[in-house]
């Protein structure tokens, strides 16, 4: 794992542990202050919790720092239980002893038993959190989200060494193919990128000519595929290049997509929370739409189709069916009426659309089942619209594939700046790349806000 990825994951763990330490102290105080407990053990009353809010803040801040000092966060994402158990035990003991010292130094009127309760409860809560994380990471959803698929490029002995290092890490990294640039062409690399929906390419330039390295980076850059260049001698002024390290070796990362950050985590959280809330709100309308579709036309309620997702990886998109069941078979008959340049098919007054389908498209209600794609991690609320696999295969400009370098979304700049009024596919791609190059969580929020009136008015819908 790159150091930046490890830092982000560590910070998330520290935030969770800080909250658990604070909760443990509150539970310890609450248990000791419980009237039933005091009567049973003939204990004296203690001061209100409000008197110790400052100590509460100190515990929240200091707790993760103590665990970090014991090496608790130096473990891999999924490590044997024994790897962190001893470090956690020592950390909780140190935290409890530190609490007693604070009681003594500041002459706090708190029973010493609270520090012991705090140590036991905090240890138990963090162990529970670790087990929940372990179970969740082994789920199918987590594996699909955390798995990173790479192609190794370099001399045969170098790629063999890199494969060994990667398999030792056990961080969900999968090596799909290996390529030696001294024996293969850049076209072979491009073919591998198209064949395997990869997350990135790990390139070792030690035994390759600089010209080959540059061409490989450019091939990946054109398609929006991240490159890890393992080298300590290569100098470049390419834009958005970051320096990292991999197994102690310097790495230059050439990135045309947003890097791992708290904003990225916020985007994922926003997707899941908003999608879940909207699904709950729309349950009854969904049922009504499903019934209406079933009563007015033959065929299934949902339309399913293979679309290209992140890095071109196919997934099944869900939409309410708005066309007749023979729509795909009739598509070639209507090709001459296509109003969109490029590989995409768009047509006003498409005869394949049902009466109910026209209403659903006008109000964009046909798109709402894609919320389940968002909950499955295949799509985002905001991002380039996913295209059918066969349309992506017909891209005549490989630079258009860079729109596949981020998760597809339910809404995007294209939809709020013209939607179907945009007839040139190049303009569509330009808007998608503008979104990718200028992405921020704030931009996502603005697009979501601007999407609401577009949906309500039905602007540009067909």
Question: What would the pLDDT profile of 190-247 be if each residue is shown by its tens digit?
Answer: 999 988 888 899 988 776 677 888 889 999 988 889 998 887 565 554 457 777 777 7
Whether 212 maps to a domain, the answer reads: yes
Q: Are residues 332 and 220 in the same domain?
A: no
d(CA 405, CA 310): 6
What's the mean pLDDT in 441-451?
Answer: 91
Whether 248 maps to a domain, the answer reads: yes
| Domains: count for the chain | 3
Q: Are residues 109 and 213 in the same domain?
A: no
Query: pLDDT, tens digit, for every residue of 359-405?
Result: 998 888 999 999 999 999 999 999 999 999 988 988 888 888 888 98
Q: What is the pLDDT of residue 275?
A: 95
Contact in structure between 421 and 339 (CB atoms under 8 Å): no
Query: Which domain covers residue 267, as residue numbers?
Result: 262-457
Last residue of a domain, one of 254, 287, 309: 254
d(CA 265, CA 208): 36
Q: Are residues 17 and 75 in the same domain?
A: yes
Beta bridge partners of 149: 174
**How confident is the prediction for the chain on average, in pLDDT?**
84
Last residue of a domain, one of 254, 285, 301: 254
Q: Are residues 378 and 412 in the same domain?
A: yes
Q: What is the pLDDT of residue 183?
A: 85
Confidence of residue 423 (pLDDT cuts 50, 70, 90): low
Residue 358 C-beta-side C-alpha neighbours within 13 Å: 9
Q: What is the pLDDT of residue 38?
A: 52
d(CA 398, CA 395): 7
Looking at the chain, the whole-number percentage of residues with pLDDT higher than 70 is 88
Q: Which residue has the higher pLDDT, 348 or 383?
A: 383
Tokens of 188: 């072979």
Q: What is the pLDDT of residue 238?
A: 44
Q: Are residues 294 and 344 in the same domain?
A: yes
What's the mean pLDDT in 133-152?
Answer: 83
Q: What is the pLDDT of residue 41?
A: 53
Where is 96: in which H helix or E strand?
A: helix 81-105
d(CA 4, CA 244): 7
Q: By mean pLDDT, which of 13-22, 24-33, 127-136, 325-334 is the weakest?
A: 325-334
Q: Which residue has the higher pLDDT, 233 or 64?
A: 64
- State the residue for tokens 């080959």: 212
What's the mean pLDDT in 113-134?
Answer: 91
Neighbour-count burial for 440-458, b at 16+ CB within 10 Å, e otherwise? ebeebeebbeebeebbeee
Confidence of residue 120 (pLDDT cuts 50, 70, 90): very high
Instruction: Single out the residue of 93, 58, 91, 99 nearest to residue 72, CA to CA.
Output: 91
pLDDT at 410 over 60: yes
Question: What is the 3-state secondary structure of 52-92?
Answer: HHHHHHHHHHHHHHHHHHCCHHHCCCCCCHHHHHHHHHHHH
Alpha-carbon separation of residue 437 from 257, 431, 433, 434 (angstroms): 7, 10, 6, 5
The number of helix segments (H) and strand segments (E) in the chain equals 18, 10
Q: Are residues 9 and 115 in the same domain?
A: yes
Instruction: Single out the residue of 216, 258, 270 nearest to residue 436, CA to CA.
Output: 258
Contact in structure between 254 and 221 (CB atoms under 8 Å): yes
The alpha carbon torsion through 366, 372, 378, 383 (nearest 10 deg) reads: 50
Q: Which residue has the higher pLDDT, 338 or 272?
A: 272
Contact in structure between 322 and 357 (CB atoms under 8 Å): yes
What's the mean pLDDT in 104-128?
Answer: 87
What's the mean pLDDT in 115-120?
Answer: 91
Where is 220: in which H helix or E strand?
A: helix 210-222
Q: Are residues 218 and 106 in the same domain?
A: no
pLDDT at 314 over 90: yes
Whether 210 maps to a domain, the answer reads: yes
d(CA 283, CA 280): 6
Whether 428 maps to a domain, the answer reads: yes
Confidence of residue 152 (pLDDT cuts 50, 70, 90): very high
Whether 177 maps to a domain, the answer reads: yes
pLDDT at 178 over 60: yes
Tokens of 426: 């190049």
Among left, alpha and beta (phi > 0; psi -120 to 50; other), residue 42 is left
CB count within 10 Å of CB 62 equals: 17
pLDDT at 43 over 70: no
d(CA 462, CA 102): 68
Contact in structure between 447 and 416 (CB atoms under 8 Å): yes
pLDDT at 11 over 80: yes
Q: Are residues 152 and 192 in the same domain?
A: yes
Confidence of residue 267 (pLDDT cuts 50, 70, 90): very high
Whether 290 maps to a domain, the answer reads: yes
Confidence of residue 460 (pLDDT cuts 50, 70, 90): low
Pairing mode, strands 226-230 and 200-204:
parallel
pLDDT at 126 over 90: yes
Instruction: Single out the residue of 170, 129, 173 nearest to residue 148, CA to CA.
Output: 173
Q: What is the pLDDT of residue 281?
A: 93
d(CA 151, CA 188): 12
Q: Are residues 271 and 131 in the same domain?
A: no
Q: Are residues 281 and 400 in the same domain?
A: yes
Whether 462 maps to a domain, the answer reads: no
Q: Are residues 290 and 433 in the same domain?
A: yes
Tokens of 269: 């959280």
Looking at residue 336, what DSSP letter applies?
G
Last residue of a domain, one of 74, 105, 137: 137
Contact in structure between 118 and 24 (CB atoms under 8 Å): yes
Where is 140: in which H helix or E strand?
A: helix 140-146
Q: Are residues 239 and 295 in the same domain?
A: no
Reduced to 3 states, what is the DSSP secondary structure of residue 363?
helix
Whether 142 maps to a domain, the answer reads: no
Q: What's the CATH code of the domain at 242?
A: 3.40.50.720
Instruction: Output the pTM of the full model.
Output: 0.72
Confidence of residue 97 (pLDDT cuts 50, 70, 90): very high
Contact in structure between 154 and 205 (CB atoms under 8 Å): yes
Confidence of residue 339 (pLDDT cuts 50, 70, 90): low
């Amino acid at each position: 794992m790159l150091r930046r990825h490890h830092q982000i994951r560590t910070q998330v763990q520290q935030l969770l542990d800080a909250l658990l330490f604070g909760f443990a102290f509150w539970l310890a105080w609450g248990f000791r202050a419980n009237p039933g407990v005091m009567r049973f053990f003939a204990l004296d009353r203690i001061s209100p919790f409000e008197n110790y809010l400052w100590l509460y803040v100190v515990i929240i801040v200091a707790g993760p720092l103590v665990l970090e000092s014991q090496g608790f966060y130096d473990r891999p994402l999924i490590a044997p239980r024994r790897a962190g158990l001893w470090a956690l035990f020592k950390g909780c003991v140190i935290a409890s002893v530190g609490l007693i010292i604070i009681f003594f130094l500041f002459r706090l009127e708190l029973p010493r038993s609270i520090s012991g309760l705090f140590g036991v409860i905090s240890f138990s809560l963090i162990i529970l959190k670790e087990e929940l994380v372990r179970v969740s990471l082994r789920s199918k959803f987590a594996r699909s989200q955390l798995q990173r698929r790479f192609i190794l490029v370099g001399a045969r002995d170098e790629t063999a060494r890199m494969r060994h290092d990667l398999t030792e890490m056990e961080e969900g990294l999968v090596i799909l193919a290996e390529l030696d640039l001294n024996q293969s062409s850049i076209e072979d690399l491009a073919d591998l990128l198209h064949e395997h929906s990869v997350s990135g390419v790990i390139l070792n330039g030690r035994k390759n000519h600089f010209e080959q390295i540059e061409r490989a980076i450019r091939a990946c850059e054109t398609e929006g595929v991240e490159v890890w260049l393992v080298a300590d001698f290569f100098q470049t002024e390419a834009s958005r290049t970051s320096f990292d390290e991999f197994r102690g070796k310097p790495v230059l990362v050439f990135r045309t997509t947003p890097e791992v950050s708290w904003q990225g985590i916020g985007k994922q959280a926003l997707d899941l929370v908003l999608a879940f809330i909207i699904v709950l709100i729309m349950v009854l309308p969904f049922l009504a739409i499903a019934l209406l579709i079933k009563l007015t036309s033959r065929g299934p309620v949902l339309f399913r189709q293979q679309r290209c997702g992140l890095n071109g990886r196919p997934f099944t998109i869900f939409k309410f069916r708005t066309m007749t069941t023979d729509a795909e078979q009739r598509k070639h008959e209507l090709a001459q009426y296509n109003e969109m340049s490029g590989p995409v098919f768009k047509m006003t007054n498409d005869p394949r659309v049902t009466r109910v389908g026209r209403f659903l498209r006008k109000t964009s209600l046909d798109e709402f089942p894609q919320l389940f794609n968002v909950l499955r991690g295949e799509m985002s609320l905001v991002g380039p619209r996913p295209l059918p696999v066969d349309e992506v295969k017909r891209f005549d400009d490989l630079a258009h594939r860079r729109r596949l370098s981020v998760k597809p979304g339910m809404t995007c700049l294209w939809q709020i700046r013209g939607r179907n009024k945009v007839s040139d596919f190049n303009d569509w791609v330009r808007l998608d790349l503008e979104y990718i190059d200028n992405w921020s969580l704030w931009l996502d929020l603005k697009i979501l806000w601007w999407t609401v009136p577009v949906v309500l008015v039905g602007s540009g819908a067909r």
